[in-house]
Amino acid sequence: MKIKPKTQKSDPQGDAINRRTFLQRASAGAVALSFPGIPTLASLFKEVPMGVVVHSYASRWHSETPSKKYPGFQQAIDLLEHCHKIGAGGIQVGVNDWTADFAQKVRDRREALGIYLEGSIGLPKTKEEVSGFEQEVMHAKEAGVRVLRTVCLGGRRYETFFTQEAFQEFKKNSLVALQLAEPVVRKHAMKLAVENHKDWRADELVSVMQQIDSEWVGVTLDFGNSIALMEDAMEVVQTLAPYAMSTHVKDMGVEEYDEGFLLSEVPLGSGILDLPKMVAICKKHNPSITFNLEMITRDPLEIPCLQEAYWATFEGVSGSELARTLRMVRQHPYASALPRVTQLSAEERLAIEEDNVVASLTYSKNRLALK
C-alpha cells in the first residue's frame, strides 16, 4: 500500500516557547542584524530538551507513600516543577477535571519556568460528551497546551478483544469518537494526536488518519508499543512519522517466556531500539516535534503471541512477522534479566523510577542532542 502523507502545516500555538519569549528573542535577533559579532536570531533557538510523560512517574503520581526524598506529585504543577529541576524541556499530563482557575495557574508557572506543556485527553464517545470534551480542550489551551495526546483504547488489543467482530466494533466506535472530536480541536486550533497504544497496527492507524483527513488530527508516535503487535519498531516509525505531532520515546528490553515473549521499558540506550535514527526520522517529517520520555518502571509485560487467543483480531498478519519478532527476541536478549519491581518496597520503587528517568534524560542530551 502506498501511503500519501499529509502536508505539515504551521502551528498557531507556537512551538516550545511562549509568545513573550518569542518577542524577546525576535527583538534580540533584530538588534543582532545591526551589530556584527552578535548571534543571529536562528542561533538563539536551541534544540528543545526531552520532556517527560506523566506515566514515567507511575509510582510517584498521586503517591501516598510518606517519602521525604520522593514526595508524591498531586497535580500538574508539582510535575512541572520537578521535571524542570531535573532538566526536562516539558511535560505531558492529563487535563481532565481542570478548572479555568487551575489552568491559569499552570500557565503562569509554565511560562515562568520556560518549558512546554502537552495534554492528555479522553475522546468523546457520544454527542452528549462533546461539550465536556470541549471544556477540557479550552482549559488545556488556556494553560498553554499545544498538543493533546489521546488513545482510542485504554487497554491492550490482545487482552481486550477475542473476536474479529469485537475489534471491528472498536474500529467503528473509534472513528465516530474522532469525528466528534475533530470539529472541536479545529475550532480551538489545537492538535489532537492519537497514540499507537498497543491497539492500532501502523497501517490501521494510517487508515484512520486518512479517513479523518484533518490537519488538526495526527499521531502520538510511541517508539516501542507496536512490538507487542508483531511489528518492526523502525518500520512503525517510518510509517507513522509523516503524521506525528508528538512522541512517546522509550527503549525496550525483551526476553523469552513459555507463551511468547516479555516486553519492558528500560532506560534509554540500554535496549534494542535505534533511538538516534528514530529521532532523526521524526525530525525530518516534523522539525518542531517534541520528544517525550515514557519510561514506565514496572514488571515486564507478557506478550502471549504463542497462544491462539492472541491472534483473534490479527487477520492478515503473516507467520513471517511472528517469526521475525521471535527471532529478534532470541537474538537480542536483555543484558541481564529484565527489571522487576513488585518485590521492592514502595520507597525502593520510587528511587529506581527516579533513577531511570534521570538516566534517560542524560542519554537524550548526550546521544540524541536534545538539550
Q: Per the structure, how many domains does the chain have?
A: 1
In a domain, 313, yes or no: no
Radius of gyration of the chain (CA): 21
DSSP string, 229-259: GT--HHHHHHHHGGGEEEEEB-EEEEEEETT
In a domain, 140, yes or no: yes
Per-residue pLDDT of the chain (371 residues; tens, 9 = 90+): 434 444 444 443 444 444 444 434 443 344 333 333 333 333 344 689 999 999 999 999 999 999 999 999 999 999 999 999 999 999 999 999 999 999 999 999 999 999 999 999 999 999 999 999 999 999 999 999 999 999 999 999 999 999 999 999 999 999 999 999 999 999 999 999 999 999 999 999 999 999 999 999 999 999 999 999 999 999 999 999 999 999 999 999 999 999 999 999 999 999 999 999 999 999 999 999 999 999 999 999 999 999 999 999 999 899 999 999 999 999 999 988 999 999 999 999 999 999 999 999 999 999 999 99
- 313 by Cβ neighbours in 10 Å (0-12 / 13-18 / 19+) ranks as buried
Instruction: Decide: helix, strand or coil at residue 297.
Output: coil
Query: For residues 261 and 329, what is the distance between their CA atoms, to the nearest angstrom?
Result: 7
CA-to-CA separations, 139 to 51, 148, 225, in angstroms, rounded: 21, 12, 29
CA-to-CA separations, 256 to 12, 157, 314, in angstroms, rounded: 47, 20, 21
What's this model's pTM, rounded to 2 decimal places?
A: 0.88
In a domain, 14, yes or no: no
Strand partners of residue 218: 193
In a domain, 54, yes or no: yes
Check residue 168 and report its DSSP letter: H
Structural contact between residues 116 and 88, judged by C-beta atoms closer than 8 angstroms: no
Instruction: Decide: helix, strand or coil at residue 3.
Output: coil
Within 10 A of 202 (CB to CB), how many other CB atoms are there? 22
Query: For residues 266 and 251, what is the distance between their CA atoms, to the nearest angstrom?
Result: 6
In a domain, 123, yes or no: yes
Place of cell 514502595: 346
Would you state the cell numbers that stand for residue 327, as one nine-digit string? 527471532
Query: For residues 275 and 287, what is the distance between their CA atoms, to the nearest angstrom?
Result: 16
Strand partners of residue 94: 120
For residue 25, give the H/E element and its range. helix 19-34
CA atoms within 13 A on the CB side of 266: 22
The CATH number for 73's domain is: 3.20.20.150
In a domain, 153, yes or no: yes
Would you state the cell numbers that stand for residue 222, as one nine-digit string? 510511541
Give the range of the structural domain holding residue 360, as residue numbers without chain letter. Answer: 48-251+266-297+342-366
In a domain, 9, yes or no: no
Place of cell 516543577: 81
In a domain, 257, yes or no: no
